[in-house]
């Protein structure tokens, strides 16, 4: 009679679909095991079409990977010479090889971060699941349990990864693990900013329920990179009660998690920093003045600054504005929510003999604003408005 464990191992092996892998199992050295996210996700029935494959092998992995890359035509990347970790990239697949740490696979797995990530599939003649820490039980109970505090401190990025896994998998952190994370947040200072950024990007794409918001506020993971100076009640409430990730939530959460200075320190791009700064500026201004008290010029500038990212700002607004604003933003012909000049710059230069420069830019802005508020209907209207504005504002008068 076939045991339950054997059936589960066979099912996992089948779900992983090795015949589609860019490498052949026959190319792998004896004693190889598949570990990490692909095993975990396979057991959770959430495998992607081309899952990242992480192998532990009992021999020198960098040398092995380099030779295998030549054989299969893959790109070879040396990830960590000290820890003997290498990567192959081929046809959209990412395949990592790491030399086994310790005398056997059990010792290797016991050095990992969380029990759900310490499950291996031994690639023997008959595939076999190997779970020395109890990760399978954690998957069943939807729990994230650290193997040890020491393991987390061996690579403090694991502190962020625990929260990221909670977000991605909709699992809970067990209380002791939560304490490990909370008590060691300061150790994130020792992690390369680029690595923290990659974890944050994954966190931003996930849906946050009530427990995730509460856990984040309890852990204060990114306080070092956040001045805590942004109201977020509306964002929090809307995210909790939304059935799926909301439009604009990625950037809204980034604004919430990191200050402008924090974004810079964690190597976000100048464009990302600028977009977040704009949202932050308008959230503060609206909270200070009240949305209905913005001047006509301010309201127009808001839509000029945030045309692309308005859904992110909307998440910080009260419910009474949300539906109407989102509906108007989705209408590309709305002249206020998608400001545009009724006359292009080339025509204005030709008709009014205006050279390129700030003066022309101000005229285009004025025409866009007049159109946004329904004071221009035809090209003739626009030409007459432009003529009057030029007479009133020309530096040559």
pLDDT in tens, 124-137: 889 999 999 999 99
Residue 337 within a domain: no
Residue 338 domain flag? no
Does the pLDDT of residue 72 top 80, yes or no? yes
Please tell me the total count of domains within the chain: 3
The model's pTM is: 0.86
The span from the CA of 330 to the CA of 117, in Å, is: 42
Structural domain containing residue 228: 185-323
Residue 169 lies in a domain: no
The residues facing 95 across adjacent strands are 53, 88
**Whether residue 139 has pLDDT greater than 80:** yes
Strand partners for 90 = 93
Q: State yes or no: pLDDT of 396 exceeds 60.
A: no
CA distance 253 to 233: 12
Q: What is the mean pLDDT of the chain?
A: 92
Asked whether residue 359 falls in the same domain as residue 318, the answer is no
Of 110, 141, 172, which residue is a domain's last? 141
80 and 189 inside one domain = no
For residue 357, CA distances in Å to 266, 354, 395 come to: 36, 9, 13
Q: In terms of pLDDT, which residue wins out, 231 or 195? A: 195
Q: Greater confidence, 117 or 82?
A: 117
Q: Is residue 137 part of a domain?
A: yes
Closest CA relative to residue 96, chosen from 56, 66, 40, 42: 56
Report the pLDDT value the prediction gives residue 1, as an integer from 0 to 100.
40
Residue 284 forms part of a structural domain? yes
On whether the CB atoms of residues 77 and 89 are closer than 8 A, the answer is yes
* Residue 164 domain flag: no
């Amino acid at each position: 009679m076939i045991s339950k464990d054997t059936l589960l191992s066979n099912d996992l092996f089948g779900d992983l679909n090795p015949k589609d892998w860019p490498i052949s199992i026959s190319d792998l050295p004896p004693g190889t095991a598949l570990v990490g996210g692909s095993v975990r996700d396979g057991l959770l029935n959430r495998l992607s079409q081309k899952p990242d494959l992480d192998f532990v092998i009992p021999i020198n992995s960098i040398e092995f990977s380099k030779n295998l890359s030549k054989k299969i035509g893959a790109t070879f990347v040396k990830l960590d010479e000290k820890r003997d970790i290498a990567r192959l990239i081929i046809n959209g697949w990412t395949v990592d090889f790491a030399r086994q740490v310790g005398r056997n696979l059990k010792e290797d797995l016991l050095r990992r971060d969380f029990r759900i990530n310490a499950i291996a599939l031994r690639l023997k003649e008959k595939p076999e699941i190997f779970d020395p820490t109890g990760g399978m039980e954690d998957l069943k109970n939807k729990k994230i349990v650290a193997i040890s505090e020491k393991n987390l401190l061996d690579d403090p990025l694991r502190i962020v990864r625990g929260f990221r896994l909670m977000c991605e998998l909709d699992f809970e952190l067990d209380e002791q693990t939560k304490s490990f994370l909370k008590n060691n947040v300061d150790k994130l200072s020792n992690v390369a900013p680029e690595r923290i950024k990659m974890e944050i990007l994954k966190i931003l794409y996930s849906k946050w329920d009530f427990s995730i918001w509460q856990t984040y506020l309890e852990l204060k993971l990114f306080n070092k990179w956040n001045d805590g100076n942004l109201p977020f009640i509306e964002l929090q409430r809307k995210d909790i009660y939304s059935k799926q990730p909301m439009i604009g939530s990625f950037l809204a959460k980034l604004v919430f998690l990191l200050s402008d200075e924090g974004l810079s320190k964690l190597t976000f791009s100048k464009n990302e920093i600028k977009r977040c700064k704009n949202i932050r500026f308008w959230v503060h201004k609206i909270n200070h003045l009240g949305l209905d008290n913005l001047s006509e010029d301010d309201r127009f500038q808001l839509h000029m600054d945030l045309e692309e990212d308005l859904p992110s700002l909307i998440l910080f607004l009260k419910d009474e504005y949300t539906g109407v604003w989102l509906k108007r933003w989705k209408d590309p012909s709305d002249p206020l929510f998608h400001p545009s000049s009724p006359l292009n710059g080339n025509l204005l230069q030709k008709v009014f003999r205006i050279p390129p420069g700030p003066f022309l830019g101000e005229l285009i802005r004025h025409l866009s604003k007049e159109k946004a508020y329904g004071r221009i209907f035809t090209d003739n209207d626009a030409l007459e408005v432009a003529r009057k504005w030029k007479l009133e504002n020309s530096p040559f008068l």
